[in-house]
Amino acid sequence: MKFTKLQGAGNDFVLIETSDAERDWSQLAMAVCDRRFGVGADGLLLLLPSKIADFQMREFNPDGSESEACGNGLRCLVKYVMDTKLADNATREIAIETIPGVRKSRPDKAGGRATRIQVDMGTPKFAAEDIPVVIEPGKGGLVDIKLITYPVTIAGKELLLSLVSMGNPHAVYFQQNPVADFPLAQVAPQVEQLPLFPNKVNFEVVRVVNRKQIEARVWERGVGETLACGSGACAIAVAAQLKGYTDHKVDIKFRGGTLEVEWDGVGGAFLGGPAEIVFTGEWSE
């Protein structure tokens, strides 16, 4: 089985072209994504045919669970279809079918290859049932009518979480200290597994540098800490804007690189950044 390894800001994926939507891809994801006994990746991307878009994408985490949304995965998939000529080089927009809906991408090209890719990640959602989160009566609060802020206590420390759905659930924690100092490996697994998140949650710890720049670390459910997260970057930017911390366009600096997010406060959040093909290979079954 042929595969391609790609990465976007250090968020890495193994991509496989297939028309088989019925296979147990969860088992393959666990094997392929293993960093010692497999190829090693934050996720397995499937490039499938679509009846409603140019292509379809599915993404499986290293624990075998399927993710609803994956921004960097989308950008890597678009990089692949452009560089392998599956999409016409003159194409200005590529539509990708995902679980939350069709997502449109805008690749910048040079020398016949995609150099920078922006994707519309869809409109953020804030209702408890959309995230989803099971709010205890009287414990949560609202900011700017939209954003749910919810306090949780982990290891004796209270964290005020800002909750956003980008097609998948995110809990954003704003703090004033450098994010490198935050004990993510100890705190994040407990946040991910909190009973109030029935589908678990992605956790981002964030420091606002200025109105145009944010630094962040991310813990992705079913994966662990990753070097970047596209849907997480959008959730961070949306929450920061609603809190009045940043402008409509902001750079999110992760350990693996910087992603740019634009949001007009109403429609879809646009995610931009680099994507690269690392190598190709063949997986023996």
Q: Quick one: tokens of 208?
A: 């606002």
> Residue 61: which residues within 8 A CB-CB, separation 6 or more?
29, 33, 42, 43, 67, 220, 221, 222, 223
54: helix, coil or strand? Answer: coil
Same CATH topology for 2-121+272-282 and 141-267: the answer is yes
Selecting among 33, 76, 229, 234, the annotated active-site residue is 229
Distance between CA 251 and CA 265 in Å, rounded?
A: 16
What secondary structure does DSSP assign to 105-123, as a single string?
Answer: EEEEEETTEEEEEEEE---
Topology at the third CATH level for domain 141-267: Diaminopimelate Epimerase; Chain A, domain 1 (3.10.310)
Q: Is 33 a catalytic residue?
A: no
CB count within 10 Å of CB 181 equals 10
Selecting among 33, 70, 76, 234, the annotated active-site residue is 70
User: What's the average model confidence in pLDDT over 70-95?
Assistant: 91
CB count within 10 Å of CB 59 equals 27
Q: What are the residue boundaries of the structural domains of the chain, listed by start?
A: 2-121+272-282, 141-267
211: helix, coil or strand? Answer: coil
Distance between CA 152 and CA 174 in Å, rounded?
A: 13
Domain 2-121+272-282 CATH superfamily: Diaminopimelate Epimerase; Chain A, domain 1 (3.10.310.10)
Residue 94: its H or E element: strand 94-98
> Residue 254: which residues within 8 A CB-CB, separation 6 or more?
9, 10, 216, 217, 218, 227, 228, 229, 233
pLDDT digits (tens, 9 = 90+) for 225-282: 999 999 999 999 999 999 999 999 999 999 999 999 999 999 999 999 999 999 999 9
- One-letter identity of residue 130: D
Per-residue pLDDT at 90 exceeds 80: no
The pTM (predicted TM-score) of the whole model is 0.93
pLDDT digits (tens, 9 = 90+) for 93-122: 999 999 999 999 988 877 667 778 999 999
